[in-house]
Structure 1
Amino acid sequence: MDTSVLELPAPPATRLRRPGWRDPRLLAGLVMVAGSVALGSWVVQDAQRTVEVYVAAETITPGSGVVPSELVVAEVRLAAGELERYVTVVDGLPADAVAVRVVEAGELVPRSALGTATALDLRPVAVPVGQLPSRDVVPGALVDLWEVPAAARDAEGAAAQPAPHRLATGLTVAEVTRPEGAFSAGGSTVVQVLVPEADLPGVLAAVAGPGTVQVVHVPGTGG
């Protein structure tokens, strides 16, 4: 029996055509690559962008004048929303700027912490204290003032000690002067506190009166 193999013609080889510049797939790929490169470059540059801002070298208390010579400059990276909250070197400080709240040492100077002297309702009062106050009583700390009235005698001539009473609460310490050297034994510490105008009559009368005024530290402040 004769068998024969029928040979079929081989199919023509399929050749891949090189995509042309007008091929939409190639154009879309180029756009994606270019976009990725541009986005990565923008992210890197934005992460490295810094701005110079003012920082408090020491604690600034309300009523203190704020000038560049008493501040330090630091380069920081801040988001756009945060940058508007602080005073930058480029913008500069307002003329005759006065602190209206405490700015701690090392803190970036907020714009909201600056104002004018006329906006303050505080006046400094020197309070001499016979007993050394806590070491946490430093500029920027909060204290309460208590009056301890002088001893008196009742109608029968017996000695009576009136109860102490509070004069003011939550006052900011502006300055503390402690005796040093030869004067440390007999001298007294003087604490400058910022008193609201409404409390001035009572505080001044107590400081000048026969009794004593005690400065009581508010825990968690100063130090």
Structure 2
Amino acid sequence: MIIDADTHIAPTGGAFTLEQHLARMERAGIDKTLTWLKPDYVGEEIEGHNRYVYEATRRYPDRILGFGWADPTVSVEHAKKMVQICTEEYGFYGIKLNGAQNNFTIDDPHLALPVIEEIARVGTRLALHIGPDAYERTHPLRAREIARRFPELTILMVHMGMTNWDMNQAVVEVAAECPNMILIGSATNDKAILYAIERLGADRVCFGSDAPFGRPHVVRAMYEALLMYDVEASERTLVMGGNIARIFHLE
């Protein structure tokens, strides 16, 4: 089973429609996708974007693995409300916080941590954007403090530092210290992916395309070419979908 662990859809049209998303899945031969919104909303419009993802999961429950999005810059209370709706009403697999797109520091004690506390309280998973587009705000060392403070919380490290080698190394270093971290290798490169697998093990790294920003059929081909000779077949299965299936209890 092939699971793309980083995809976006939105009700604002263009390449982000559900229909375009499904077409990309078919072209790439992907069975399921972990899917969250595209952050092109304004303020409380985020509610409609999360609901669009929910409607996609209702229409295609065997294909779309819904994941919520909370934005504490709208307000902390509103972000907590999104956590509750996305988990209790929508049944999503977790909540994403993106300090780059939403312009906050991921361990901010007044903005981010109260929302993360709510995510931990409801017992779901946390995804964090980790990238050089907001180097200081999303740095892996900040994620390490979150992982230590909430050891019961599974944390998806989305992009694992993108193509910034210093950040890639830092992600792997902190993940080695924090067993509750899982890396999603989207919008990054083969060097970083293989480095993470070699240092952490194939059970800690997941295939992701960042669709539609990345082309799933191209990213999948890159992964399969990379993994063909450098890891065992059983390890390829983990990276290409088995890890998400295990973490989300799909098996």
- TM-score when normalising by structure 2: 0.20
Q: Which has the higher strand share?
A: 1
Larger radius of gyration: 1
